[in-house]
Amino acid sequence: MYLETFTLPINEEEDLIKERAEENGGRFGYVDNIYPCRMFGPRELEEISFRNVTIFYGGNGSGKSTLLNLIARKLQLNRIAPFNSGEMFDRYAEACEYTMGYDDEGFIYRIPNGSRIITSDDIFDYMLAVRTNNEEIAELVEMEKEEYARLKYGDTIRFNGLEDYETLRKQLLARQKSLSRRQYLRRVAGTEVELNSNGETALKYFETKLKFDRIYCLDEPENSMSPKMQMDLKSMLEDYAKNCGCQFIIATHSPFLLAMEGARIYDLDADPVEVRNWWELENVRIYYEFFREHEKLFWV
């Protein structure tokens, strides 16, 4: 396990706010937005202890995404989607502290290269990029269909300079006896990425992006996924955590991800914040009570 603890500067928050206010205008200065100060202190959350899978559970505004982003910022994890952090965020993250575990030979771990935070925006952007790429390839295929016959059966292209290189290259491909028109189109236009439902595409994203021996912060990775897809994602993450040297820190509402094997769950809806079992959480118990109330219907 790479990351062992992460400590929030809840006892330093007022000093941090005061320092920033003075920078904004001396003794009369003020801070427009103190976020994320005073979010976790009132709920007595100062130190987080990690397992290979650690989950932050809570409703909107409970701070689970904030914690993920603080950890990602402090550990300098790779990220794609920007995070609108506010004027106090970086100062607050800098004041946080963390400890790393030790390997089998007693050496302290470093943050593994390639570790990153993955947000729902990353997944939606991936879906959009795949669709856009497929549309561009489809348009190019239609163009190349018309070009194929001319290149295969028309006059031979003469090479008079580099400007003729690409056209000559395509003509040589078109005239290869071993290459069908379909194969030619794939070579020159590319192949569309298989795109099914949003949930299947999101699952494919994780299959593509997750690598061995990394720390991953995942912000509501179940978005767009059906219950079955969430179960598939759960199995994938458990496998990476157990067999592939990965550590996951996850913000989620999903009852399926909350039930990940060996996960430590911080209930951010509790006051004070508590570590709880997944079956004790309000979200899960609501599902349970609903299905128990209608239990007889499942035996019809």
Residue boundaries of the structural domains of the chain: 3-114+212-299, 123-189
CATH 3.40.50 corresponds to the domain 3-114+212-299: yes
Percent of the chain scoring above 90 in pLDDT: 60
Question: How does pLDDT run across 39-96, given as a tens digit for each residue?
Answer: 999 999 999 999 999 999 999 889 999 999 999 999 999 999 888 778 899 999 999 9
What average pLDDT is seen over the chain?
A: 86
Return the pLDDT at 45: 97
- Please state, for a pLDDT cut of 70, what percent of the chain lies above it: 81
Q: Model confidence at 123, in pLDDT bands (50, 70, 90)?
A: confident
Residues 6+ apart with CB under 8 A from 58: 64, 267, 268, 269
Q: How far is residue 269's CA from residue 77's CA, in Å, rounded to a whole number?
A: 27
Q: What is the pLDDT of residues 146-167, one digit of tens each?
A: 666 566 666 676 666 666 567 7
Contact at 8 Å (CB) between 83 and 66?
no
* Residues whose CB is less than 8 angstroms from the CB of residue 217 and which lie 6 or more positions away in sequence, other chains included: 68, 69, 71, 72, 77, 116, 117, 118, 249, 250
Lowest mean per-residue pLDDT among 18-22, 64-68, 185-189, 252-256: 185-189
Dihedral of CA 57/266/221/234: which sign? Answer: negative
Distance CA 210, CA 236 (A): 10
Tokens matching residue 129: 């990029």
Taking the complete model, does pTM exceed 0.95, yes or no?
Answer: no
List the one residue out of 52, 49, 26 whose CA is nearest residue 260: 52
Residues whose CB falls within 8 Å of the CB of residue 131, separated by 6 or more in sequence, listed in order: 195
